[in-house]
Each structure stands twice: as structure tokens, then as C-alpha cells.
Structure 1
Amino acid sequence: MDHPPYRGRTRKLVLSFDVGTTFSGASYCILDPGSAPEIRGVTRFPAQEQVGMASKIPTIVYYDQAGEVRAVGAEAVQEGVFEEAEENGWVKAEWFKLHIRPRKGESSSEVSAKIPPLPPNKTATDVLADFLSYLFNCAKSYICVTHASGAELWESMKSDISFVLSHPNGWEGYQQTHFRQAVVKAGLIDESEGKRVSFISEGEASLWFALKHGLSQETMERGEGVVVIDAGGGTIDISAYQKPVGSDKFEEITAPRCYFQGSVFVKINAWLFLQSLLKDSPYLDELDHIADCFDRTTKIRFSDDTIAQYIKFGSTKDRDEEVGIRFGQLKLSGHDVATFFAESVKCITGAVEEMLRTNACSLKHAVLVGGFGASEWLLRELQKRLHPLGLTVMRPELYVNKAVSDGALDFHLASRIQARIAKYDYGTFYRTTFDPSDPDHEARSDTVVPGAGGKTMLRGRFGNLLEKGTRVTDEKEVRMVLSQEATNLDKLRKNLDMVIEVYCYAGKLEKPKFRDVDPDGFWKLCSISANLGHLPPKEEQSPGHGMYYKVNFSVVLNFNATELKAQVAWDENGEERRSPASVMFYPD
């Protein structure tokens, strides 16, 4: 998996930021003409005690009452900061990435309520921008200090920096839009320089890390399928890949999954359990502190549900034996602690079982990475549950919590994913000519509207651009032929300032034809805007009615790239012409 020498003419810097729910990291690569790229991690941060290849910082920002940043990352958890924040009314922003999360399938309002609110007058994009600015400055400082003539080196590269940002598997255009806006707001690029930012799913980034640190080339050359489980702070991303025999690229062999069951939800489950346990205890006032102590110690070292677990939170004087508190420690049964992890384990094993049921490909390996992947209990449970299914479970020994930022750079330098799997049905609603002989049309006759040329049109037809489960290659484009019609030219030209809505269908029906068959299964993904007023209209004659004008065009989408891209196409003198279209994404 070594990279060939860089063929560019000038030196260039690529920065990778992994903004996690609880911890974040940065990696970089200096591209020197004629030299093979080398990926390096930013391993020193202000106030960071741990110095080494696995160095990451807490994803925390403190703001003062004026909304100014006061402490970030490791600075925000050093001794004395909590007291200073209390005295001066500072507000802490944490888990802020989850405020732009997809809401599809979210069921636990109790869990959602535990996600900390954003600081007053701050959006998630604002906080992301401040945090990205901090990571950028840390990377700049690190490069300047650790490289020979580092300051001069930085000056030679600062005007041409590419940024690679990773995000959970289930995140799409809406979340990417927020990240891109945050990069601009942080001052890392101008608004016109969007091409300097690229995205990668955490599943793909983790695949590259696993290939470098654990998966043997022989395994992949045999065409054996591998499941990559990236267990992070907020999400658990599960992807499956295969390298076809004789190919140098990989294919996604099933739609990736993303679950909000990362390590922060283990803490939330513990908090809810402790709230019930301590409801009649004077130590209920210490609930948040006890939960924090569990998160920092007990959760990390837990590995055996047959042994009692202890949360040390106070002094030897703290005692309430009715709830299990003695000498400043709260005793919990190993079985109870295991229940805090249960949903995380369940979602992983359930996803792998579904992959095995629905795919002919032979999955043989499971690779566990991510900060939560360092949990011994999680590793043991997955080994116990997945081994009977025929999978070997491995965890790379080398810094699993740096998998995403390093892997994202690997992906950026040599993209080798040649096919992905569509996660949903994608399409748009349009009007079609009413056919009274069609039972589906007749059943919706009350929705018909008049069309150009005296035609009767039926609304609400779903045109499927891309079916769920479709294998989408690098070269594959999907298109839908559409038209605009009007009885006069002025009205037609006005209608050619187009806004086309693209919808996803995530329900259980196959090939839905109309919106009303499952209205809750559809949601608006994005709108595609383009002005086609320059296209020459054609005159059409409707039998038994008058003349009308019509323009034919196509919407062309590329779903394979991590970012959805759109164009409009039309025929001009026998040749296809295209123009880019702007895409605006909606929250789900």
C-alpha cells in the first residue's frame, strides 16, 4: 500500500482533520515532487500530557460570556480550568458534532435529551469553525517545530493546502455542507475555494488504516470480504469491502451502516442507571461527577462481567451502603455494567448478521478500530458473537484511535474504492400523462391537473434515479429525462429557472411508484438549481388541441463520490451539452 512518488511540480501540503464526538486528531502529508508521500500525525498539542503517535485531544471548546473562545482541547480539561469556568461563567461546548446528525431512525428521546445543548448564540457550524481553526493552528505549530527550517517550509506551502475531512458513514450532503461552511468560517479557505476540501466516510478511512496495520495483502488478494467496524465516541460505522481477484481496487459489497451507539452512549446509559440507583440517596447531587468518573476509569478498564466494578469518585468519608457506596467508591455488579454496552454490541452483531444474510460474498474478517474499539469488553463480546458466524475479529495493535485521520489521507492520496452500494432509493416526483386505463392512475384521478396542449397530468409519480442496493462504479452516472411544457414562450422561460427536488426513499417497499404509498418513507435530500432559459424550445402539436412549447433536458447525478455532484444536460444540434448545477441539501 505504499504510494508512488508525487508527480506534481510544486510542494503541497494535505491536512486531515478527524473531528470526533469526544476526541479529535490531525494528520498531514507533505507532497514533495519526486518523493513518495509519507503520512505523519500531529502528536503534540497545547496542554497535552500524552506525547506520542496516538495523541488526540478532547473535542471541547469553552466560551466566555462574550462568546469568545477561552480554552480548547486538552487545555479545556487541565487542572484549574473547571474552577475558572465556574467563576467566570464560561460555557462548555462538547458533543457539538451530534447537533447536525441525521435524525433518521432515531428512537430514544431520553438519549437525545442528554446531548449537551450548544452555547448561547452559537450554532454547531460556529463551534466546528472554532475547533477546526484550533486544529489548523496546532498542525501549523507542529510542522514548524518538528521539521528542519519548519517556518520556511510552512511559508512555502500555506497558499496551497488541501483539507480532507472525515465523517460517519450515514452522513451526507447536509452534514458536509455544515463542515464546508465551518472551514470557510474558520478562515482556512475562501468561499470560492471549495475544491480544496474533500470528504471521506469513516468506514473507508478505517479500511485504509486496517490495510496498513493488520489486514494482510494475501487475505485481500484472495477476494475475502472484510467488515470494518469503526467504533468511535458518537457513532459506530460498519462497512464491508472486497477486493475482486486480479483488481487493484476495492468494492463496497453492501450499503454502509451508521449507528448512534458510540462510547458516549455507554456513558449515557450509565448515567440513566445511576440516576435510578441514587434517586433516594444524598449522593444524587453527585450524579454527573460519578458518571464522569465512570467514563474516565471504570468504562475503559471493564473486561469481565463476572467481577464487581467500582467507581471511585470521593474520599474515604463518603458512604451510603444502601446503594453500594463505601470509602468513596460506588460498587456495581459486572452484569449491570455490561448492560451499558449492550446496545452497542447488539447493533454491531445485528448489522454483521444482516450483511451475511443478504450478501453472497463470503465475509471472513472483522477489523475493530476507533477510540471505543480500544475497549476490551467490546472486543471480547464481538469475538464471542462473530466467531460462530465464521468471522475472525482483529484489532490493529497500532493506535486504533488514529485510524480515521491517517486513513483519510491514505484514501485522498490513492483512492482505490471503485464501487459503492446505494443506501436508499433516490429519485424525484414529477407529473406524468394521465392514463385512465392504468389502475394506479385511476385510483388517483382526484389529483390530476391540466397540462400544456390540453393534456391531463397526474401528480406524485416517483421517478427512481437510483435503486437501493445498486452497485455504483466510478464511471457510472444516473440520469432522468425531464421536460418543461407551456402554452406560451414567456411562461416556459419563467419555468426554466429550474429547482428540482431529489428525494430518498428509506421505507420497506420495493420500487415505490407514488408518494402516497408510503409518505413517511420519503424525505427530501436536496434541491438542484439550474437556469435553462437559454435552451431553444420546440413546438409541439397536441392531437385535438392547440400548439404548445416544450424543452427536454436531463438531470445527471454522480453518486459514487463521497459528495453528490449534479449537472444538467441537453441536446444541441445533435450533441450533448452540459452545465453544472448547484446543490442545496436539507436536514432530514
Structure 2
Amino acid sequence: MASRPPYGGPTRKLVLACDVGTTFSGISYCILDPGSVPEIRGVTRFPAQEDVGGDSKIPTIVIYDKQGQLQAAGAEALNPRFEDDDEDPERWIKAEWFKLHLRPKTKSGAHVTNDIPPLPKGKTAIDVFSDFLTYLIKCARLYIEQTHPNGVELWRSLQPAAEFILTHPNGWEGAQQSMMRKAAVTAGLIPDTESGRARLTFVTEGEASLHFCISNGSTTEAVKNGKGIIIVDAGGGTIDISTYRKLPRRQSFEEVAPPECYFKGSIFVTSNARRFLEETLKSSRFLGDVPHITRCFDKTTKLRFRNSEENQYIKFGTLKDKDPSLNIRSGQLKLIGSDVASFFEPSVQCIINSVNSQLRAAQNEISSVFLVGGFGASEWLFSQMKNAFAPIGLEVSRPDTHVNKAVADGAISFHIDHLVSGRVSKFAYGTNVKTVYDASNPEHAARSATAFRDITGSMMIGGLFDVILPKGTKVNEAQEFRESYSKVASNPEDLSIISSPIVCYRGKTDMKINGTHFVDRDSNMYSLLCFVKGDLSRVPKLPRPSTFGRDKYYTATFDIVLSLGLTETKAHVCWMENGTEKKSPAELVYDPDIVLIDD
């Protein structure tokens, strides 16, 4: 990309990006100085981290004692003293892969539960996430204090107003952002105030990866002539796929297909290997060694694998460990290469199918696929993708720097460069409504048994979904979507607060904006996203005569306005008062326990 312009803000500012991954995590930061060109830096030294070179990542692991007190995190959690304690085997409780406990509750993702270690007793996912964020920021503080001139004073002066970016998979929505915000507040990153919450921003891992690829020049040739690119962020837990194109004559990009997210990251390759080992060794004395053998596979064999026609080996024991009938010799288990390839196959096919889906959804030519993320370092995955897409002329490449730092660096670039100006809605968004019953309408007549008379005296029918934003719509950040609604009540005080549901439709029916649809036609494809909670106390409550058992009722007319082109959904309510539009902020209230329906 072109050189960054100097920072034009009035005061010095510290920005930190935390990429909490399923298996590894990293931190990047930038000190914004007025008049100076911003420089993205990564934290490259962590406590107990032996490899202080370009990796820039630490294991996403937390250790608690039996009282639930945090004892270690990151590389410090790998200390052998936490692995075995003959005097008290239950003295230390490990939490790993805990990020996936925040995931959306989807029906097809139910199988994921079997692969995720349970949370420590008495701890929620927010608790563990918060403790790990606390540790990451502590590491950032130590690094800045030790590497910058007058670093202690630098941190002391900038930390109170620091801004934070948290990354998350493409498939996560407002409920997951809400939980992550609670964790950030608990960790002390920000106060739980309006100004404090404004210092925290979210970005998808796909969009952060795009910024990384652009900022290091990887995409320069690929986006020429208006061609699009696909970003595949292959991480430990999730695979995130996003497609973008560069806008003509502008230094900005837009999504051209709804982003996708799948639980098919590298940990599931290891889970497939574990199940294979359990079956292979089930009747042998080595069955109890399966957890150790699996760890050895994860750290060595999985990383080295690149040829399905060659035997693969897992070194797990000593010279005394042997059983020729199981292909175990000198503490080494021999595996057929095609078996190892089968461990990767679900993830490989998921990526290939998703890229093909993105190609179909995008309405312009795609030139390249960029593979990033820790799993992206796998030579087998890279070669399989090249083999799949070379016949259709689609180039697959990886950035020429460490692919596992892409998200943290890209999140900082997202904050300072802001290169994506348009996004594509993943679902149809709307709300539940009722309308006046029309006996001449066949759809109404078919549901006549559900018709009812409300306090206005009119016959009404409910069960309708009113579309505010259709799926696949290109939305820019400044764009707002609004719909007008009326609430009625016999008491005007009952109209002081609005709590309206925002519903997602995840099915395949082509829905148009401002259209209404009966939800019973495709009921399994609707799910509650959140509630818009707003203050209507200043909205005029107009009395109306009733024809149904009472003298009058009151009505409040207002608009729900959604900003859906941002990385985080925002809302407010508007109404007319004496010919002037008034506005009030609205809170989005999420329920993380809602079970969502997959596409």
C-alpha cells in the first residue's frame, strides 16, 4: 500500500490490539505521535518464552490453583511443575481452548463441544478470557517499559486513555462482542462507562488479515484491474474466509461476498488424530499413552507433514517402547501417510468448498487466495489448496512474513488505516411485527385462527418478520437502515421504554428490504440476535379513541435506526416532534444462550 500519512490527531495516543487465539495469542501496538508516520510494532518478548524471535505468539493457556486463583498464563503455563504433582495431582487446573466456549451456539457446531476441554469448575468463559487479557496487557506493559526510552513513564502517561482492539472470528456476532467487552472491563482495560466502552473496538479476523496483507504489500499485484482477493485465515479453532475488491481510484476496499466461518481449525486435525490413535491402540498397553502421543503428534508430526505417500512417525517414548504389530519401534509409532492426510481432510475440504462458495457469491473476478494464520503455515494445507485452485487459474499464496502474527498486526492497521469502507450482510436482519388482518389476503385467511383484536379495536395478525436489511447487501459504514413502528398501550407510561427484538433470517429465501414474511414458513431459520432497548420517554404519546371496550388508548410512533455497516452493530431511535427529528441512543441487549440456526 502507499505510505501511511502522518498521524493527524491532536495528542499522543497508545493503541493495543489483542489477538486471543484458540491455541496461540499475540499483541501488537502503535504509539500515535502527532505529525509522525504510525509504525506497527509487535510484542516479541514474553515471560518464559524461549523463542524470542519472529514468532511473536504465546500459548493461549491459563493455570489456576484449586481455589481458582490465577497462577500462570502463556509460556509460563508450560512450566513442567504444572504437568505433574505426585503429592497433589489436582493441585493445578489448566484452561485451554477456552475462547471456543464463547462461540455462537449453532446446531451444526454441537460436535465441537466434544473436542473442547471443559472450563475450570466455578469459572465462566468470560472469567478466563478476562484473566488472559489481564496477562496479555501485563506483557505489553513490560515490553514497552523495557524497549522504549523512558518506557515506564511512557506507559504511565499513555495507558489511562489507551484504545484497544479485540479480534474475533468472522462468525461471531454481537453476543460474543458483548461477552468480550465484559471481559475487557473485568480485566481493567477499560471502565464500564460510555467513554470507556468507546475505547474498545472489534474487528473480524478476516478483515484484520486483509489489512495485514495490504500493509505488507502482498496484495499489490493481485488487486490490479479491479480484481478481488479471498483471505483464508486458518487458525487453531476457526477457518475464516472473506472476499474483497479494491475500489476504483481509491485506497479502500469493500467486501463482495458474505464472510464465512467454520470450526475446522488445526485443533480439529489433532482431535481426528487422537480418535485414530484411540482406535488403533485400544487393545494395547499403549492406550493410556494416547494423550501424550497426541501431544507429540501435534508438536512435531502435524507440523512436518507434507507428503501423503510417505510414512509418518510420532516419536513419543524410549527404545524400550516397541510393539511391531502396532508399528511401534524404539518409542516411535509409524503411520501411513494417507491416514495422516485423512486427519487434515475435513479442514482441507471445508476451505476448498468455502472458497468455491465465495467465488460464486462474488460478482467480480477473483485473482488470488491469501492463506494466513497459524494453520496456514502447514505445507500440506498450502499444497492441497494450490492443487485445488491451480486448474481454474486461481493463485494461492502466503505472505512472506510470519503468518501467525497477521491478525494482531492487521488489527492495528484496521485502526489506523481503516481500509475497508463497505461490508456485506451475512444474514437478513429485521424484527417481529403484526399487521391489520385482511380476510381477502390468502396468507391471512390461512392463519385466521391466530387473528386477534388488540386494544385499538382492530383485528390483527402476528407472526410476521419485517425485513430491515436483506442478506448479501453491500453496506457502507455511513449507511443507516430504518423502519417506522408504532406501539400502543392503555397507559402512556407503558410506552416510555422500547424493547424490540432484532431477528436474523439465515435461510435461503430471497428477501427484499421493507418486505414482510410469515415466520412459520421457515421457522427454523429465524433466530433472535438482540433487543433494541431505547428511551421513548420524550416521544409524544398521542391519545386515540378505541372501539373495543375502553375510552381511549395511546400510541407512540418512532423509527428504529440500525448501523449495520460497522464491525459492531449500533442503534438509536428517532421520532418527530413539532416538525423536528429527535434522536435517542439505544442499547443492544444480547442473550448469548440463544441457539442459532446455521445456513
TM-score class, shorter-chain normalisation, is over 0.9
What is the Cα deviation at residue 218 of structure 1?
4.1
Amino acid at match of 2:41: R
What is the Cα deviation at residue 200 of structure 1?
0.4
Equivalent positions of 1:59-208 (< 5 A) are 59-84=60-85, 87=89, 89-107=91-109, 109=111, 111-192=112-193, 193-208=196-211
Amino acid at match of 1:159: P
Inter-partner Cα distance in structure 1 for 2:122 and 2:361? 47
Inter-partner Cα distance in structure 2 for 1:369 and 1:508? 30
2:571 to 566, 580, 586: 566
Could you say if the C-alpha distance between residues 88 and 357 of structure 1 is closer, same or farther in structure 2, counting changes exceeding 3 Å? Answer: closer
What is the Cα deviation at residue 495 of structure 1?
3.6
Q: Is the counterpart of residue 275 in structure 1 residue 294 in structure 2?
A: no
- 3-state SS of paired residue (1:131): helix
Q: TM-score, normalised by structure 1?
A: 0.96
Amino acid at match of 1:563: E
Inter-partner Cα distance in structure 2 for 1:208 and 1:267? 30
Could you say if the C-alpha distance between residues 355 and 105 of structure 1 is closer, same or farther in structure 2, counting changes exceeding 3 Å? Answer: farther
Q: Is the counterpart of residue 530 in structure 1 residue 534 in structure 2?
A: yes
User: Once structures 1 and 2 are overlaid, which stretch shifts more, 316-325 or 566-575?
Assistant: 316-325
- 3-state SS of paired residue (2:264): coil
What is the Cα deviation at residue 246 of structure 1?
1.4
* Partner residue in 1 for 2:498: 498
- 3-state SS of paired residue (1:10): coil
- 3-state SS of paired residue (1:113): helix
Q: RMSD between aligned alpha carbons?
A: 1.7
User: Once structures 1 and 2 are overlaid, which stretch shifts more, 427-436 or 525-534?
Assistant: 525-534
Identical-pair percentage: 48
What is the Cα deviation at residue 547 of structure 1?
5.1
Query: Any conservation in 2 of the 1:503–1:525 contact (CA below 8 Å)?
Result: yes
User: Once structures 1 and 2 are overlaid, which stretch shifts more, 71-80 or 186-195?
Assistant: 71-80
Amino acid at match of 1:502: I
What is the Cα deviation at residue 78 of structure 1?
3.1
* Partner residue in 2 for 1:508: 508
Amino acid at match of 2:427: Y
Structure 1: 5+ residue runs without aligned partners?
none
Equivalent positions of 1:570-585 (< 5 A) are 570-585=575-590
Amino acid at match of 1:19: V
What is the Cα deviation at residue 105 of structure 1?
4.6
Inter-partner Cα distance in structure 2 for 1:507 and 1:57? 39
Inter-partner Cα distance in structure 2 for 1:471 and 1:275? 48
What is the Cα deviation at residue 219 of structure 1?
3.1
For 1:196-230, what per-residue CA distance to the aligned partner results, in whole angstroms no more than 9, with x for missing partners?
11000001100011113352424324211100000
* Partner residue in 2 for 1:339: 342
Amino acid at match of 1:116: P
- 3-state SS of paired residue (1:452): coil
What is the Cα deviation at residue 428 of structure 1?
0.8
Amino acid at match of 2:207: E
Could you say if the C-alpha distance between residues 444 and 465 of structure 1 is closer, same or farther in structure 2, counting changes exceeding 3 Å? Answer: same
Inter-partner Cα distance in structure 1 for 2:590 and 2:454? 30
- 3-state SS of paired residue (1:406): helix
What is the Cα deviation at residue 548 of structure 1?
4.1
Equivalent positions of 1:365-384 (< 5 A) are 365-384=368-387
Q: Is the counterpart of residue 549 in structure 1 residue 573 in structure 2?
A: no
User: Once structures 1 and 2 are overlaid, which stretch shifts more, 475-484 or 367-376?
Assistant: 475-484
Equivalent positions of 1:256-271 (< 5 A) are 256-271=259-274
Inter-partner Cα distance in structure 2 for 1:371 and 1:241? 22
Inter-partner Cα distance in structure 2 for 1:557 and 1:526? 12
- 3-state SS of paired residue (1:501): strand
For 1:445-475, what per-residue CA distance to the aligned partner results, in whole angstroms no more than 9, with x for missing partners?
1111212331011011110111011111122
Could you say if the C-alpha distance between residues 216 and 452 of structure 1 is closer, same or farther in structure 2, counting changes exceeding 3 Å? Answer: same
What is the Cα deviation at residue 393 of structure 1?
0.4
Query: Any conservation in 1 of the 2:222–2:229 contact (CA below 8 Å)?
Result: no
- 3-state SS of paired residue (1:217): coil
User: Once structures 1 and 2 are overlaid, which stretch shifts more, 52-61 or 295-304?
Assistant: 52-61
User: Once structures 1 and 2 are overlaid, which stretch shifts more, 385-394 or 12-21?
Assistant: 385-394
What is the Cα deviation at residue 520 of structure 1?
1.1
Query: Any conservation in 2 of the 1:251–1:417 contact (CA below 8 Å)?
Result: yes
Inter-partner Cα distance in structure 2 for 1:347 and 1:401? 20
Q: TM-score, normalised by structure 2?
A: 0.95
Inter-partner Cα distance in structure 1 for 2:39 and 2:145? 17
What is the Cα deviation at residue 502 of structure 1?
0.8
* Partner residue in 2 for 1:301: 304
Amino acid at match of 1:163: F
- 3-state SS of paired residue (2:201): strand
Query: Any conservation in 2 of the 1:311–1:329 contact (CA below 8 Å)?
Result: yes
What is the Cα deviation at residue 279 of structure 1?
1.1
Inter-partner Cα distance in structure 1 for 2:110 and 2:437? 43
What is the Cα deviation at residue 316 of structure 1?
0.8
Could you say if the C-alpha distance between residues 81 and 453 of structure 1 is closer, same or farther in structure 2, counting changes exceeding 3 Å? Answer: closer
Could you say if the C-alpha distance between residues 202 and 107 of structure 1 is closer, same or farther in structure 2, counting changes exceeding 3 Å? Answer: closer
